[in-house]
Amino acid sequence: MNTSNSKQGDLFAAVAAHDLWSFLAWQDIKIRYRRSKIGPFWITISTAIFCVALGAVYSRLFKADIAELLPYLTIGMVLWVYISSTLGEMANLFVDNTAYIQNTRINPLSILLRAIARNTIIFGHNLLIVIGIYLYFGIWPGWNVLLVIPGFLLVVLNLLAISIPLSVIGARFRDLAQIVQSLLQVMFFITPIFWFPRLLGENSWIIKANPIGYFMDLVRSPLLGKLPELASWGASLLVLLISSIIAIWVYQNKRARIAFWV
């Protein structure tokens, strides 16, 4: 068998095995909350409390209407939890799944898709908070909300492309996990999650150089009934292109060493 072709086909094989990694993703959630009455909704409740508390405080600090800030903050926070949770576990992904990698012939990318699927399921649970915000403030986003589908898909593809080199390199260099966590902590404060971009001005480099800000806009704007900026589509596609090139190179050259590194 041609090893290069085998590596190139790993992603297609992993996607085709969706019944395996989707089942394992559901099992992860069931096992984690096995003795809990409300299961993963504990995450939803804690996120909702955090958003309401933060919205009450920052609406006064920013002198903003809470009816504008709280929906904006809540959607941003729900999406941030999804993005940060996904990227945060990638550096240790293969190390945490050493038994699968060393004792079975599992496709490494199936393990990665399992993690993304698990976090996507939790993201779906957290969307209940957004529905609650809609009902409380009487928000109807209109037909623009349909743009959340391609926008969210583009975000997921970016997370997949970024996760591949993170997980492979993280198997070799264990310090990467701490670096990623530190970067995510910084990104939380410089990403427009609970503050409006207009506070820094349209030409701020903090906004323009932050890819997660573009990801936020692709999902949050449609959910608020607005159109995402064209720059968000362009920047997200550019990040996807660059990340995919890096992911392909790293995976093709280092895939065979993962089992030895973990």
In a domain, 5, yes or no: no
Measured over the CA atoms of residue 111, residue 112, residue 116 and residue 122, the dihedral's sign is positive
Quote the domain boundaries for residue 36. Answer: 10-261
Q: What is the Cα–Cα distance from 26 to 44, expressed in whole angstroms?
A: 17
The string of pLDDT tens digits covering residues 115-173 is 999 999 989 889 999 999 999 888 888 888 999 999 999 999 999 999 999 999 998 88
Indicate left, alpha or beta for 195 from its phi (over 0: left) and psi (-120 to 50: alpha).
beta
Per the CB < 8 A criterion, the answer to whether 80 and 193 are in contact is yes
Per the CB < 8 A criterion, the answer to whether 251 and 10 are in contact is yes
In a domain, 3, yes or no: no
Which pLDDT does position 235 carry in this prediction?
A: 95
DSSP per position, 85-113: HHHHHHTTHHHHTHHHHHHS---HHHHHH
The string of pLDDT tens digits covering residues 61-86 is 878 888 888 899 999 999 999 999 99
In a domain, 74, yes or no: yes
Lowest mean pLDDT among 31-40, 81-90, 211-220: 31-40
Which pLDDT does position 31 carry in this prediction?
A: 78
Question: In the chain, how many domains are there?
Answer: 1
Average pLDDT over residues 224-239: 94
In a domain, 67, yes or no: yes
Which pLDDT does position 4 carry in this prediction?
A: 45
pLDDT of 1 higher than 50 = no
Q: What is the Cα–Cα distance from 14 to 49, expressed in whole angstroms?
A: 37
Which pLDDT does position 40 carry in this prediction?
A: 65
pLDDT of 114 higher than 60 = yes
